[in-house]
Structure 1
Amino acid sequence: MTAADFPGIAPRVSRTAFTAAAARAAHLLVDTGPLIFSDTLAAVVLGDHAEELLAYHHLHGAHPVLAGARTQAVCRSRFTEDRLLRVNSGIDQYVILGAGLDSFAYRDTSARFRVFEVDRPATQAAKRELLERAGVAVPPSVTFVPVDFEADPLRERLVQSGLDPFRPVFVSWLGVTMYLTRKAILATLTVLGGLAPGSEIVADHLLPPELRDAAGNGYAEAVAPVAAEQGEPWQTFLSPAAMAGLLREAGFEAVEQAGQRESVDARLWDRTDALRPAALSALTHARIPERPGN
């Protein structure tokens, strides 16, 4: 699938924004349950592209690549939102890096969070167009933060957009690190490490080949060449220890790490459909510790 499959919009948006949303949407339509994650707006936001994208999952839902894509998408979303929404955390600022077609702000009815969606300007313009076409209103709690990640100062753009840097922030960074160099990952984490103590992050990362199982390596061998052909090559693979090390260097402490199997309740793997946990990627949840004297 190429940009030509999304006339008028896709040339401005990463292909992965569409395929990730399609994977979340397809989970509700293809998999028999129990549900791992319920993104009730994913298909709506895909709009005119939903039928074609979801047809792949309807017709070939048990294919290891498509089932693997759904597993990865729903596990990381469930893990992240469970930690974001836990009771009494005291955090009410939520930054979504590389927001793509993430729908949290349009599903959440708690009015608890001010959400900062960070992405390239073109991607945000396309998303807003898709939301408008779908009749989905942008709530006042949402702030779009347009950032050229290669040129713009992230912290400055966030503060200019209304983020309070003196209060804790929850950051999600999903489906992005594999496309960046290790140096670029550390640079972004270092900026985030300058946020207020008590701030948290959940980031996912692909495992190196030696830490993957057969299913994980099979998925990588099938998908990585396609991603490269689409102009989005995978560049960095990190072990949990390596990711924890980068976070520590940036000022965070890892508090939890999980593969796909451990990222959700074990009972969710008691299923009869094609979803199976693979050793392909991992999630790290980290926190900025209180500084001495605070």
Structure 2
Amino acid sequence: MNAKSSNGTAPMAAAARAAHLVVDRPPLIFSDPLAKLPLGSEAGELLGHHRLHGDQPVLAAARAQTISRSRYAEDRALRAFDSGIRQCVVLGAGLDTFAHRSGSAEHVRFFEVDRPDAQRTKRERPAAAGIPVPGRVTYVPLDFERDAPAEGLHAHGFDDAEPSVVLWLGVSMYCSPRKCVTPPPSSTSTPSRSSPPSRASRGGRSSRRAALPLCSDCGFDVVESVRQHEMLDAALWDRQDALAPIDLSRVVHARVRGQRSEHHAGPCPARKGWAP
């Protein structure tokens, strides 16, 4: 499977984020009240599937994976913004709404990177739903297996002299490992989804072995590499619904070697309009 396949997963990821608010019981892991709007005409079918089959183990596992990795990554991005970072790159942005709802676009410049066809959908559907694009959001069209993100970002105004936070979720498993081009060199924090399910399904150790050497080879120091149950406060997994952590993948939080990280690990405080 190549990078083109990841475009088809964007509506499913958005549906999982939206469905969490209507299918699962408190405590909420992640709150994205805008998630269903970019789905357009697909919203009814996709959300209806979660409503009818939300307790089905595979569907519940997919939902748990999507919302837990988003919560983990956005926690750390918001903490980076609090520490003064003013650039955020979202690789494989799909139908992500972080820039729209985080409240950070007033002082952080967002660069959303994805294939041109995926970006057309991303731009048309929110506009049709009446969601304005924040003024500090820039769309950077490119193909990860053919184009260098650094070149595309520079062409759209990215300043590599400034520290940045990079979010890369649900993309790497669709790319040939050595064809994935590393994020921009000034990145101070890169929460990223690692390891294809085929590797991770053999256990947590294989997932870790696959992710960490790749990070090191690409010039990153790993801050932490966590399994799904480690992404969140333990209380959020004390549940009365079908959501439960599984060990199909890891999220790696890393920074460019030699760069200092000003933010720290731990739960991020709830913010109005973002997290429960």
| One of 183, 187, 190 as aligned partner of 1:201 | 190
Unpaired stretches in structure 1, ≥5 consecutive residues: 1-10, 213-236
SS in structure 2 at match of 1:159: helix
State the match for 1:95 in structure 2: 89
SS in structure 1 at match of 2:157: coil
Letter in 2 for 1:142: V
Unpaired stretches in structure 2, ≥5 consecutive residues: 260-276
Letter in 2 for 1:97: L
State the match for 1:158 in structure 2: 153
Residues 131-170 of structure 1: per-residue CA shift (max 9 Å, x gap): 1111111111100001122332221110111110111111
Aligned residues: CA RMSD: 2.0
| One of 30, 35, 53 as aligned partner of 2:46 | 53
Cα separation, 2, equivalents of 1:138 and 1:210: 41
Cα separation, 2, equivalents of 1:281 and 1:76: 10
Cα separation, 2, equivalents of 1:242 and 1:94: 26
Identity of aligned residues (%): 48
Q: How many residues align?
A: 251
State the match for 2:271 in structure 1: none
State the match for 1:220 in structure 2: none
- TM-score, L = length of structure 2: 0.86
Bigger-Rg structure (1/2):
1
SS in structure 1 at match of 2:202: helix
State the match for 1:80 in structure 2: 73
State the match for 2:34 in structure 1: 41
SS in structure 1 at match of 2:178: helix
1:47 offset after TM fit, Å? 2.2
SS in structure 2 at match of 1:23: helix
1:181 offset after TM fit, Å? 1.8
SS in structure 2 at match of 1:149: coil
- TM-score, L = length of structure 1: 0.81
The answer as to whether partners of 1:57 and 1:66 remain within 8 angstroms in 2 is yes
State the match for 2:265 in structure 1: none
1:241 offset after TM fit, Å? 3.1
1:238 offset after TM fit, Å? 5.8
1:13 offset after TM fit, Å? 8.4
Letter in 2 for 1:104: F
Letter in 2 for 1:43: K
| One of 145, 157, 170 as aligned partner of 2:165 | 170
| One of 61, 69, 72 as aligned partner of 1:68 | 61
Cα separation, 2, equivalents of 1:240 and 1:31: 29
Q: Does residue 1:274 correspond to 2:268, yes or no?
A: no
Q: Does residue 1:107 correspond to 2:101, yes or no?
A: yes
The answer as to whether partners of 1:13 and 1:122 remain within 8 angstroms in 2 is no
Cα separation, 1, equivalents of 2:136 and 2:206: 34
1:209 offset after TM fit, Å? 2.9
